[in-house]
Amino acid sequence: MQSKTKVLLIRFSSFGDVTQTLSLPTKLKDHFKDCEVHWVTREDYKSLLENHPHIDRIWLFNRKKGFLELLKLAWKLRQQNFTHVYDAHNNLRSLVIYTLTTFLKFNHKIRRPIYRWKRFLLFKFRINKFQMPFSGQRDLIEPLVPWGIDKSLPPAPQIFLEASAEEKALEKVSSLRRPFFTLAPSAAYFLKRWPKDYWKDLIQLLPDFDFVLLGGPEDQFLKDIQAVAPGRCLNLAGALDYKTNAAIIRKSKALISNDTGLMHIAEQLGHPCIALLGPAPFGFPSRQSTLKMELPLSCRPCSKHGQGPCVNPIHHQCLVDIKPSTVANELLKWTR
């Protein structure tokens, strides 16, 4: 008879959600002590999980290989005889794995709730039944309360960098001669982005600092931001893997970020961050190291992911009214 606690954690994506979920293995190990923690995720997020001291095994899913491969993976996981299964994703693919690993087995199983009714009330009628303040990590941990796990966050760091990432980061920023800030001006949806010209203004308001711009290969607009002070701005959008991005953030004075995955990287490092928060409520930062900048507008939040449409008479007011001078003043406080 199996006596050791063996936990399967299911979270495939996305970048920000996987990063926030990195707190869960530590919570599980703290509670169950000598338990074994397995995590199934998408292949492209493997590096985020690697080197985590509380993850015993990583299982990878390639969504391009189709449903049959998913079934094969689920069957392999079933053979592991997990005592506890937590579906922290809650979509169709995760349901397949959850169902096949728990069917006719006497294990503890939980699926993270989606709260569709609460979301409907919030976005359609401005009736908020969610626990405040919004907190992405708390919402991921809270479903585990029936297992005796409390909702508090484990201390940072919860992302663990390899020496190779640190070395690559040093190489990438070797041309900089002054203290630098990292900037994350992109986001999945336009309405979650602080205006492009505000990033330019912020750089000009801080002439004694250099800046590193981080993002994906699709973020070509970062070239326009870099052009405002090319001698002080290093554009690394699309040039780095997740862990090297994290290492560069840790070497900077602070990260200034829209509501996006890099914000959660800074959180899980315990690194100073200014989070510019606009239309979306879920995945909010949860640590004291992050300064949340947001406006108390009656129209916020307006959509699940910030996809819009904006319903405010002043278009995009939730971010337009957060001025570069306000952000610059906060950053100067941190550097004195």
Mapped onto helix, strand or coil, the DSSP state of residue 14 is coil
Same domain, 80 and 137: yes
Same domain, 171 and 215: yes
Helix (H) or strand (E) holding 150: none
**What is the rounded (10 degree) CA torsion for 126, 132, 135, 139?**
-90
Q: What is the mean pLDDT of the chain?
A: 94
For residue 31, being part of any structural domain is answered with yes
- Asked if pLDDT for residue 242 goes beyond 50, the answer is yes
Q: Tell me the C-alpha distance between 229 and 57, whole Å.
A: 45
Mapped onto helix, strand or coil, the DSSP state of residue 129 is coil
| Chain centroid offset of residue 37 CA | 20
Single residue among 122, 147, 172 that ends a domain in this structure: 147
Same domain, 167 and 75: no
pLDDT of residue 283: 78
Single residue among 147, 171, 194 that ends a domain in this structure: 147
Same domain, 287 and 314: yes
pLDDT, one tens digit per residue, over 123-143 is 888 899 998 888 999 999 999
Omega before 157 within 30 of 0, i.e. cis: yes
pLDDT, one tens digit per residue, over 38-60 is 999 999 999 999 999 999 999 99
Q: Tell me the C-alpha distance between 321 and 332, whole Å.
A: 20
Omega before 301 within 30 of 0, i.e. cis: yes
**What is the rounded (10 degree) CA torsion for 43, 95, 280, 131?**
-130
pLDDT band, residue 107 (cuts 50/70/90)? confident
In degrees and rounded to multiples of 5, residue 256 shows phi and psi of -115, 125
Domain of 24 in residue numbering reads as: 6-147
pLDDT, one tens digit per residue, over 301-320 is 988 888 889 989 999 999 99
Helix (H) or strand (E) holding 232: none
Same domain, 189 and 56: no
For residue 256, being part of any structural domain is answered with yes
| Chain centroid offset of residue 230 CA | 29
DSSP state of 154: P
In degrees and rounded to multiples of 5, residue 114 shows phi and psi of -95, -25
Residue 197: how many CB atoms within 10 A of its CB? 12
For residue 210, being part of any structural domain is answered with yes
CATH number at residue 258: 3.40.50.2000
- Asked if pLDDT for residue 2 goes beyond 70, the answer is no
Q: For the CA atoms of the chain, what is the radius of gyration?
A: 21
pLDDT of residue 33: 86
- Asked if pLDDT for residue 1 goes beyond 50, the answer is no
For residue 156, being part of any structural domain is answered with no
| Tokens at 183, concatenated | 């900037």
When pLDDT is averaged across residues 198-205 and rounded to a whole number, the result is: 98
Same domain, 179 and 313: yes
Mapped onto helix, strand or coil, the DSSP state of residue 310 is coil
For residue 129, being part of any structural domain is answered with yes
pLDDT of residue 3: 61
Same domain, 120 and 209: no
- Asked if pLDDT for residue 196 goes beyond 60, the answer is yes
For residue 190, being part of any structural domain is answered with yes
Q: What's the domain count of the chain?
A: 2
For residue 114, being part of any structural domain is answered with yes
Instruction: Give whole-number Cα distances, 123 to 16, 79, 133, 318, 320, in Å.
Output: 22, 42, 17, 16, 21
- Asked if pLDDT for residue 66 goes beyond 90, the answer is no
DSSP string, 52-65: -TT--EEEEE-GGG
Helical H segments across the chain, by residue range: 15-21, 23-32, 46-49, 67-78, 92-102, 116-125, 136-141, 163-172, 196-205, 222-226, 242-251, 261-269, 317-320, 324-335
> Using an 8 Å Cβ cutoff, are 186 and 215 in contact?
yes
Question: Do the bridges between strand 180-184 and strand 290-293 make them parallel or antiparallel, or are there none, so unpaired?
Answer: unpaired
Q: Tell me the C-alpha distance between 263 and 277, whole Å.
A: 11
Single residue among 116, 147, 178 that ends a domain in this structure: 147
Same domain, 102 and 141: yes
Same domain, 269 and 308: yes
- Asked if pLDDT for residue 4 goes beyond 90, the answer is no
Among 77-86, 122-131, 156-165, 167-176, the range scoring the smallest mean pLDDT is: 122-131
Same domain, 103 and 226: no
In the chain, DSSP finds a helix count (H) and a strand count (E) of: 14, 11
| Tokens at 87, concatenated | 């579906």
> Using an 8 Å Cβ cutoff, are 39 and 17 in contact?
no
Same domain, 128 and 228: no
Same domain, 137 and 174: no
